Amino acid sequence: MSTLTPAAPRRDKARTRAAVAGAVAAALVLAMALDTKWVKSGGAADVAPGTFSPLAYGQKTFPIVQKAILGRAVPAPALAAAIAKDPAAAAKQYGVPSGVGVEYPVSFTGTLGDGDFGNYDVHVDGMPDTPKVALQTGPAIMGTDLRDATGTIEFGQFTNQIDYQNAGSALNKEMKKQVLSRLDTSDLKGKTVSVVGVFQLTDPAKWLVTPVSLEVK
C-alpha cells in the first residue's frame, strides 16, 4: 500500500523560501543604493579618482586669486607713472614675473568706448595717452593672467602641461561665472565702470585687463 505525501506543505515551503530570498535581495539592493554616491554628470565630482578636475579647481582657487588681486591692485595712473619712470623697480614693487612679461594687478574707474569681440577700450582719468587701457569681458577670456597673477600657481603643482593649461582656463571660466554672468557684456559702450583686474605687460602701448571685480555705475 503506497503513501502519498501531501503537495501543499511542499508548496508552502517553496513559497517561504522564495519570499525570504526576495526579502534578502531587496535588502541588498537598498544597502547598495544607500552606499552609492550619486554624481551629477559634468559636475565637479564627475571625474575618476586622482584625475584633475578643472571645474573643482576653478571653484576652489578663483576666490583665492581674486582676493590676492584685490589686495594688491594699484590705481592705474600711479602704476603707469611707476612703469614709465623705472620699469624694473615697478616690476619688483608691484608685479609678478611670468613668461614673457610681468603680471600687474590694477584698479581703475573709467568710461567704456568701442568694443571688439568683448574687448572694450577704457578712458581712465589721469592716464597718459600711452598706454591705452582695454578690458576683456568675453565671451572668450584670453590668456592665463588669473593663473599667473599671484606667483603661487606653478607648473610643478600639476601632473602635466595639459592640466596646467586647463587650470588657467578653469579660472577664466569661474571668473566669468562669478563676475561677468550678471552683466550684459555686449552692451557696455558708454557705461562707467569700476574695475579691479590684472594684465601682463607685453605691449607697453596697451594693457588688456582681465577683471576679477567689475561694477557698472
CATH number, domain containing residue 206:
2.40.50.420
Domains in the chain: how many in total? Answer: 1
Domain annotation covers residue 22? no
pLDDT reported for residue 138: 92
Pairing of β 132-136 and β 101-116 = unpaired
Give the pLDDT band of residue 54 (cuts 50, 70, 90): very high
Domain annotation covers residue 93? yes
Share the mean pLDDT of the chain: 86
Determine what percent of the chain is predicted with pLDDT higher than 90: 71
Domain annotation covers residue 59? no
Pairing of β 132-136 and β 206-216 = parallel
Mean pLDDT confidence for 22-31: 54
- Is residue 83 within 8 Å of 103, Cβ to Cβ? no
Mean pLDDT confidence for 181-210: 95
Give residues with Cβ within 8 angstroms of 58, minimum separation 6.
Answer: 170, 171, 173, 174
pLDDT reported for residue 100: 86
pTM of the model: 0.77
Pairing of β 101-116 and β 74-75 = parallel
Q: Which residue range forms the structural domain that includes residue 110?
A: 66-216
Domain annotation covers residue 135? yes
pLDDT tens-digit series, residues 95-144: 999 988 999 999 999 999 999 889 999 999 999 999 999 999 999 999 99
Domain annotation covers residue 128? yes
Domain annotation covers residue 27? no
Domain annotation covers residue 176? yes
- Is residue 82 within 8 Å of 126, Cβ to Cβ? no
- Whether the pLDDT of residue 8 is over 60: the answer is no
Domain annotation covers residue 166? yes
